[in-house]
Amino acid sequence: MELDREAELTSSEYQAVLDLSLAWDLPGPTKENRKWLFERLLSYAVIGRRLRQVKQIRKGLKETRAWPLLTERKDVDVFQRECENSLTPLMLLPCICWPSDSSVDDDDDDNDHDCSLEDRCRISGYLRHFIETASSSDLKDLVKFWLGWEVPDRKMVVEVVTADMPKSSTCFNMLRLPSHYMDFSHFKDELLKCTGTSEIGFGLS
């Protein structure tokens, strides 16, 4: 934008254009090359960088032998649309580290110790029942609320804590569930309300 004007460049504008030009192996701006440099920068930004990225992707596909799969196996749908992907309990349950699982590392500020074993077992049972009976759409919302996206991770941690509503820490793959629920219907109702916010906030607390 600075180059596509008639006005002289200020010192800060000149430095910004110079830094960009040198980063892309182009000469710095002068009165004589201003229009030419503008066209070269624009062309590289829109086309040149994308071509390099496409070449790198194509090279990677060939080196990993994925290219023959894509070109020769028309029956294999490698890149499915998000709406076509289904999520099932069998895909999700093996990824979960339950509160009573000894493989879950204890943090210094772990609130799970504030809840009794009975509470942890009851809430874990509610969550398992929810996963086993939920639709694929509800499971996607749960995973997005839990992780920030819809693909299950190998280690998805559950904590039972003293809190008002279910919360998540997507950076740590952690779902925090309140211990106060005494029936499944109440648990399910509030969990669905929370996971329904994943489209606007990824369930971040």
Q: What is the pLDDT of residues 17-76, one digit of tens each?
A: 888 888 877 888 887 888 888 888 888 777 777 787 888 888 887 888 777 777 777 666
Q: Is residue 109 domain-resident?
A: yes
Residues 175 and 118 in one domain: yes
Position 192 scores a pLDDT of 94
Residues 68 and 89 in one domain: no
pLDDT at 129 over 90: yes
The CATH number that applies at residue 163 is 3.30.2410.10
Q: Is residue 50 domain-resident?
A: yes
Residues 110 and 174 in one domain: yes
Residues 20 and 96 in one domain: no
Residues 88 and 57 in one domain: no
Q: Is residue 119 domain-resident?
A: yes
Residues 17 and 97 in one domain: no
pLDDT at 81 over 60: no
Q: Read off the pLDDT of each residue in 124-151 and give the average, rounded to a whole number.
A: 92
Which has more pLDDT, 162 or 71?
162
Position 139 scores a pLDDT of 94
Identify the domain boundary among 21, 48, 72: 72
**In 64-205, alpha helices (H):** 66-72, 89-92, 117-133, 136-147, 184-195, 198-201
Torsion 47-51-52-54 (CA) sign: positive
Percent of the chain topping pLDDT 90: 38
pLDDT at 89 over 90: yes
Residues 33 and 68 in one domain: yes
On whether the pTM is more than 0.75, the answer is no
Q: Is residue 4 domain-resident?
A: no
Q: Is residue 2 domain-resident?
A: no
Cα 112 to Cα 102: distance, rounded to the nearest angstrom: 13
Q: Is residue 107 domain-resident?
A: yes
Pair of tokens at residue 50: 């994308």
What's the mean per-residue pLDDT of the chain? 81
The domain in which residue 32 lies consists of 11-72
Count of structural domains within the chain: 2
Q: Which residue has the tokens 């749908």?
A: 77
* Consecutive H or E run containing 167: strand 167-169
In eight-state DSSP terms, residue 137 is: H
Q: Is residue 6 domain-resident?
A: no
Residues 96 and 193 in one domain: yes
Position 75 scores a pLDDT of 67
Identify the domain boundary among 52, 72, 92: 72
Residues 65 and 117 in one domain: no
Q: Is residue 171 domain-resident?
A: yes
Pair of tokens at residue 83: 């709406």
Identify the domain boundary among 72, 107, 123: 72
